[in-house]
Amino acid sequence: MAAMIVTAFGTLLLAVSVFCYEPDFHDHKYTRHPNWRLLPIEKCGKRANFTDDLSIRTIGGRVAELGQFPWMAEIVVKDYKGCDKHHCGGSIINDRYILTAAHCVYEPWFKVRLGEHTLSTCVDCTPDMRRCAPPAIDVDVEEVVVHPWFSSFNEHLKYDLALIRLKQPIYQFNDYIRPICLPTYAQDETSFENVLVESAGWGWTLPNLVGGSSDQLQTVRVPLLSEKTCNQLCAFYRLVKDLRWNWCDGYVDDNEICAGKLKGKGVCHGDSGGPLMTSANVPGRAPSTFLVGIASHVFGILDCGSGIPDVYTRVSSFVSWILDDIYE
């Protein structure tokens, strides 16, 4: 999560916006799908109401509060010594599936870790040690479904999403392991420009890939950019031959989301597959957290936090594909 350390951004305090919706909240094309029942609509996107937020603020962002993102999954691989190594992030969407970036699942072996916060400790606690989470759990992978139009040979990584089916279901959700909501709302996301959203991950915290992955889960708040604004920025920086913008030769389309553009704020290597989130007021219940994007164009950018927008796979474009491919 490069944004955490790179550059100060004054004393501006940012808050994730909360959307308000009409009573007819969910899009009927989803509610009528036979697999709609597999989405934990009543349980998703809820965080425990902890009162001991002692998270450490860093330049551009902060260390996440313990239990702040209970839907966060970690994809773990083996390093050359055979030891566990952080690889990517992901999001719990129900008791059997993790949603992540397609480019994260092309490893010969990996597992999913749930309920993780600090990578170097077995039991994670608040800084004052008054609250501790249960140990993280490791779950083997039964099946991986990559979007059929994704190509790892395309450097622009269109359709960069994949479903990971866990070998065993998550038998019981708790304060530290819970699903996030999919964007099944009927609201048009084109109205969200400049709305602040939140990203989380264990990615690198220094520019130029110095120092390695963060030991603690990091979070940063950034504004959404419209497709038009993002492509205008692409066109300008390609014109001046800024090599950091090579990723946008193919242009951002309506299956992707741009977010960021703030100096010292953004995602970095190791944040791939992680969630871009927003809160929404759902009729009849407390505000819930929705998954709007999957971190995609981050793994190849050396100058993280430089003010170049990050590109995420737009989850709302693929809800039907997700529903088609999950099963009990």
**Cα distance between residue 76 and residue 87, in whole Å:** 5
pLDDT for 53 equals 57
CA 132/CA 241 separation, integer angstroms: 50
As a 3-state breakdown, the chain gives helix, strand, coil percent values, each rounded to 5, of 15, 30, 55
Distance CA 271, CA 69 (A): 14
Contact 317/294 with Cβ under 8 angstroms?
A: no
> What average pLDDT does the segment 296-301 reach?
62
Calculate the CA dihedral of residues 246, 252, 258, 263 and round it to 10 degrees.
Answer: 20
Read off the pLDDT of residues 23-62 as tens digits, 9 standing for 90 and up: 478 899 999 999 999 999 999 999 998 876 555 544 356 8
The 3-state DSSP class for residue 254 equals: coil
Q: What is the pLDDT of residue 236?
A: 73
Distance CA 281, CA 242 (A): 41
For the ranges 35-44, 219-228, 262-271, 295-304, the maximum mean pLDDT occurs at 35-44
| pLDDT score, position 129 | 93
Maximum Cα interatomic distance, the chain, rounded to a whole number of Å: 54
Which CATH code is given to the segment(s) 2-325?
2.40.10.10
Q: Which residue has the higher pLDDT, 275 or 267?
A: 275
Tell whether the model's pLDDT for residue 18 goes beyond 70.
no
Q: How far apart are CA 21 and CA 19, in angstroms?
A: 7
Radius of gyration of the chain (CA): 18
pLDDT of residue 144: 98
**Which pLDDT band holds residue 260 (cuts at 50, 70, 90)?**
confident
pLDDT at residue 13 above 50? no
| Structure-token pair, residue 157 | 């990584």
Q: Strand runs (DSSP E) across the chain, as ranges?
A: 18-20, 57-58, 61-63, 72-78, 84-92, 97-100, 111-114, 137-139, 141-146, 162-166, 196-201, 218-225, 256-259, 275-281, 288-297, 310-314
The tens digit of pLDDT for each residue in 110-140 reads 999 999 999 999 999 999 999 999 999 999 9
Q: What is the pLDDT of residue 234?
A: 75
Kindly list the domain boundaries of the chain, sorted by start residue: 2-325
pLDDT tier for residue 65 given thresholds of 50, 70 and 90: very high
280 vs 240, which has greater pLDDT?
280
Active site residues: 103, 160, 272
